[in-house]
Amino acid sequence: MNAPDAFVALDTLIAQHADRLNDKVIAWRRDLHANPELGNREFRTGGLVAAHLRALGFDDVRDKVAYTGVVGVLKGAKPGPCVALRADMDGLPVTEETDVPFKSTVRTQWNGAEAGVMHACGHDTHVAILMGVAEILAGMREQIAGTVKFIFQPAEEMPPIGEEGGAKLMIEQGCMQNPPVDAVFGLHITSKLHTNRVGYRSGPLMASADQFRIFVRGEQTHGAQPWSGVDPIVVGSQIVLGLQTIVSRKMNLTEEPSVVTVGSFQAGNRSNIIPDEAKMEGTIRAFDEKHRSEIHEFIQKITTLIAESGGAKAKVHIAHGYPVTVNDPALTDWSVPVLERAAGAANVGICPKTCGAEDFSYYQKEVPGFFFFIGCTPPDQDCKYAPSNHSPRFYVDENGLKVGVRALTTLALEWLARPHNR
C-alpha cells in the first residue's frame, strides 16, 4: 500500500471512530457545560477525566496535578517518541445568558465575591474533544509508534488571586516529563470562524499579556490654589499620553504589532481638592518577546521622567502574564496538510493574529508546539456579529466538535509515525 493509500485508510478509520463517538462527545460537552468550575476548582471535571482515562486502560493516570489537572499516558505497541495533546478545563466567572437546555445555573465565590460560572470560552468542548481522542487512540494502540500524553489542564483563565496554577504549574509538577514530551498540540474553539473551519498561523499567533500599575505621588492642596501643591492628576494624565507614544513612536510596527492600554485611572474624591495620589492600571500586549521587554523599559522610563518633570514621584509595577504563543514554523508546515485531511482543504486557512493570550505558550517554550482554532459559529450566521468567547451569550455549534476530534487524533498518530522521529 503506497503512502496516499495509507493516508486514505487511516483517515477513513479515524472518521468512522469520530462518527461513532460523536454523540458521546456532545453528551460529555453538555454535562461539562451545565457543571462548569473555575480555575483550580475543577474537582468534578478532573474526576470525570481521570475516571475516563483509567477505564480506557491507560498505562498511567496522574490526577491532582497543579491542584486539579490530569495527565494520562498511553503507550503504543511500537517504540517511538512522545507527543502531548492538551485541553484546558476551567470556566469563567460569567453568568450565562444563552437559551440552551443545558445552560449553566452554577454560582460560586470567586476572589471574595459571588459570581455566576459559565464555560464562556469553550473549554468544555476542549475537554470533551480530548476525551474522544483518548477513546479512539486507546483502541488503536497497535498503530501507535510511541507514546501519547494527554494533558487536561486547570486554570488557563488564571487561578484565584494568591494562588499559582495553569500550564506553568503543570510543567513545574512534571507534566512534560516521564516520558519527556517531544512535541505538543492544542486547539481552541472560536466564534470568529464558521463551524468546521480551521484557522492556523505560523510563528506568533497570540499575544503576550502583562499588566501594569502606576502610582503617582503628588502633594495634596486646595483646588483653588494648585500652585501650593503637586497635582498627580495632571502628571498622571501626561503619563497616559506619554505611554501612547510607545507603540506609535518607539516600536517598529513593520515587525510586529503591540498594544499599551490604560484601562483604569483613579484619583481624588472631591471637586475642590487636589489629591496626594493618582493610580493607573493597564495592559500590555506584544507578539515578540524582545518587543515585550522594550515596552516594559519604556513604560518605566516615560513614567519616571514625566513624574519628575512635574515635581511628582512615580512607581511602576509590571506583572508578567502569559508569553507570546508562537507556533513552531517547521511543525506548522508539517501540520497543515494533516489538518487539510482531517477537515478538508477548503476549510483550512491562515487566520489573523489575536491580541488575546494563551498559557499554551508555556508548553511551546519547552518543546515545539502547534496551536490552532476550530470554528463554532453556524454557517448561516455572520461571524462578525456572533457573540465572542468570554461573552455570556457565547454559543457553540456542536456539529464542529467532530473536526476537533479528527484533527487531534490524526496529528498525534501522524506525528509519531514520521520517519525522522526514529
**DSSP classification of residue 408:** H
Residue 95 grid coordinates: 453568568
Environment class of 251 (CB within 10 Å of its CB; exposed 0-12, middle 13-18, buried 19+) = buried
CB 212 within 8 A of CB 282: yes
Which residue among the candidates 219, 277, 281, 398 is catalytic per the annotation? 398
Q: Distance of CA 229 to CAs 49, 63, 237, 271, 315, Å?
A: 61, 59, 16, 15, 19
Q: Distance of CA 36 to CAs 373, 387, 398, Å?
A: 22, 19, 17
Which residue among the candidates 37, 96, 135, 322 is catalytic per the annotation? 322
The amino acid at 400: G
CA distance 376 to 400: 6
**Residue 340 designated active-site:** no
The amino acid at 189: I
* Adjacent-strand bridge partners of 316: 214
**Residue 322 designated active-site:** yes
CA distance 307 to 354: 33
Among candidates 84, 282, 238, 93, which has minimal Cα distance to 167? Answer: 84
3-class secondary structure, 159: coil
In sequence order, the 6+-apart residues with CB closer than 8 A to the CB of 395 are 98, 100, 191, 376, 377, 386, 387
- Cis bond upstream, residue 419 (ω within 30): no
The amino acid at 224: A
Q: Distance of CA 319 to CAs 107, 195, 212, 228, Å?
A: 29, 36, 6, 35
**DSSP classification of residue 249:** I
Phi, psi of 216, deg, nearest 5: -110, 125
CA distance 300 to 258: 17
Catalytic positions: 322, 398
